[in-house]
């Protein structure tokens, strides 16, 4: 099999020929036909996440070392089954749900909490992923049907779609009179704009510093947009939301975007923190208590949510995000363009 691997953190990926693995036990071997390139791949590729104050969360501390194959939005055709694998057919195509835990702990025994596992085996962040032409999936239950959806789009639901969906579910029960402000309209943020109407009746305003991305957000259903880079953005947002947003979702995850979200929340509002851009936020604690705001972390989503999301997609309730495909060998150009912030929607690699 071929894989575009990280051979040294932060250095260009290299194409490697590797032995194609044989599925053991309940494992399934999938021949990959599409794999999305996620913004978090940039952090994995660089070898660390920025914690701020000079601190880093290193891939090496997670026990992940080069050579490593990234890619946590794989999709493909079942090529072979392990002797105990059941529930899927050779020759059929599926989305690979990558957010897999140890399979043994209490969190893993319930699909609903598998991403809370302390010994994750996530495909493309802990174990070999989809920047390759084959991948091993530990159990057929992680293969999700996408019939009726184009494969290059379907693969992106495994991370960007699922992350957006799970974050939208965490804003709580809002009404049509409430306003939700999402911050950032890149890959995951734009997916959330597409999904919002299917999950919440709240009015959606998108905050984004890039004019092209603001226009894209309006085109796909945002009621309004704000340039959160403008000095009077907080005042504008409070006016537009009629006194403050009921909920905000920060799809960027920088100190300025998190602060913007918290500043425009109304009393009792909820902010969901999703983006992993990095650094840290100084937080005045007394106002947080007095305004009864909540700050909630959200990381990808669980297998039940993945099935819920695909049911919405297959029912035609989610407009497609823009997709650009490139050959697997062009993975380095995908990383460069993503680093430069040039990507609208999602880049998808084709082995
Ligand atoms: Zn991702
Ligand atoms: Zn576990």
Cβ(306)–Cβ(157) below 8 Å = yes
- Report pLDDT for 115: 85
Radius of gyration of the chain (CA): 20
- What is the value of pTM for the model shown? 0.93
pLDDT tens-digit map of 209-239:
999 999 999 998 999 999 999 999 999 999 9
- Ligand 1 centroid distance, CA of 246 (Å): 27
Lowest mean pLDDT, pick from 46-60, 204-218, 295-309, 327-341:
46-60
Across the chain, where does the E strand assignment appear? 2-5, 14-17, 28-37, 48-52, 55-58, 74-81, 93-96, 134-137, 143-144, 179-183, 203-207, 224-226, 245-250, 265-273, 294-297, 323-327, 346-350
- Report pLDDT for 144: 98
Burial letters 302-326, b for 16+ CB under 10 A, else e: bbebbebbbebbeeeebebbebeee
- Confidence band of 35 (pLDDT split at 50, 70, 90): very high
- Ligand 1 centroid distance, CA of 239 (Å): 33
- Ligand 2 centroid distance, CA of 62 (Å): 15
- Confidence band of 273 (pLDDT split at 50, 70, 90): very high
- Ligand 1 centroid distance, CA of 121 (Å): 15
- Ligand 1 centroid distance, CA of 125 (Å): 9
- Confidence band of 186 (pLDDT split at 50, 70, 90): confident
Lowest mean pLDDT, pick from 58-62, 142-146, 242-246:
58-62
- Residue 113, pLDDT > 90, answer no
- Residue 111, pLDDT > 80, answer no
State mean pLDDT over 163-178. Answer: 96
- Ligand 2 centroid distance, CA of 228 (Å): 39
- Ligand 1 centroid distance, CA of 325 (Å): 17
- Report pLDDT for 71: 98
- Ligand 1 centroid distance, CA of 276 (Å): 10
Instruction: Please list all protein residues whose beta carbon sits less than 5 angstroms from ligand 2, which is an ion.
Output: 101-102, 105, 108, 117
- Ligand 1 centroid distance, CA of 233 (Å): 29
Give the number of whichever ligand sits closest to the CA of residue 71.
1
**Residue 9: Cβ within 10 Å count:** 17
- Report pLDDT for 141: 95
State mean pLDDT over 126-143. Answer: 97
Give the number of whichever ligand sits closest to the CA of residue 301.
1
User: Chain-wide mean pLDDT for the chain?
Assistant: 95
Give the number of whichever ligand sits closest to the CA of residue 111.
2
Cβ(286)–Cβ(261) below 8 Å = no
Give the number of whichever ligand sits closest to the CA of residue 42.
1
- Ligand 2 centroid distance, CA of 119 (Å): 6
The rounded percent of the chain whose pLDDT value lies above 90 is 87
Cα–Cα separations (whole angstroms), residue 53 to 68, 230, 280: 28, 26, 7
């Amino acid at each position: 099999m071929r894989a575009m691997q990280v051979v040294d953190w932060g250095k260009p990926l290299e194409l490697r020929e590797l032995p194609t693995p044989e599925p053991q036990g309940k494992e399934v071997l999938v021949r990959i036909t599409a794999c999305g390139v996620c913004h978090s791949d940039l952090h994995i590729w660089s070898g660390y996440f920025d914690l701020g104050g000079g601190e880093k969360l290193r891939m090496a501390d997670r026990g992940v070392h080069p050579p490593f194959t990234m890619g946590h939005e794989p999709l493909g055709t079942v090529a072979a089954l392990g002797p105990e694998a059941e529930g899927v057919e050779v020759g059929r195509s599926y989305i690979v749900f990558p957010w897999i835990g140890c399979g043994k702990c209490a969190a893993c025994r319930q699909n609903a909490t598998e991403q809370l596992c302390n010994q994750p085996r996530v495909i493309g962040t802990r174990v070999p992923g989809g920047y390759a032409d084959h991948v091993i999936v530990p159990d057929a239950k992680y293969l999700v049907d996408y019939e009726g959806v184009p494969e290059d789009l379907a693969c992106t639901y495994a991370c960007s779609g699922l992350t957006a969906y799970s974050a939208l579910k965490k804003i709580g029960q809002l009404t049509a009179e409430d306003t939700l402000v999402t911050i950032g309209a890149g890959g995951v943020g734009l997916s959330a704009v597409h999904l919002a109407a299917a999950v919440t009746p709240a009015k959606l305003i998108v905050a984004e510093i890039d004019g092209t991305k603001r226009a894209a957000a309006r085109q796909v259903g945002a009621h309004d947009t704000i340039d959160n880079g403008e000095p009077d953005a907080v005042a504008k947002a409070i006016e537009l939301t009629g006194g403050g947003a009921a909920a905000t979702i920060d799809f960027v995850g920088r100190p300025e975007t998190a602060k913007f979200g918290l500043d425009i929340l109304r009393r009792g509002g909820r902010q969901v923190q999703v983006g992993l851009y990095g650094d840290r936020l100084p937080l005045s604690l007394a106002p947080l208590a007095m305004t009864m705001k909540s700050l909630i972390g959200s990381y990808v989503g669980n297998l039940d949510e993945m099935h819920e999301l695909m049911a919405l997609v297959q029912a035609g309730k989610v407009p497609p995000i823009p997709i650009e495909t490139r050959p697997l060998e062009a993975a380095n150009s995908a990383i460069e363009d993503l680093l430069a912030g040039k990507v609208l929607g999602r880049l998808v690699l084709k082995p």
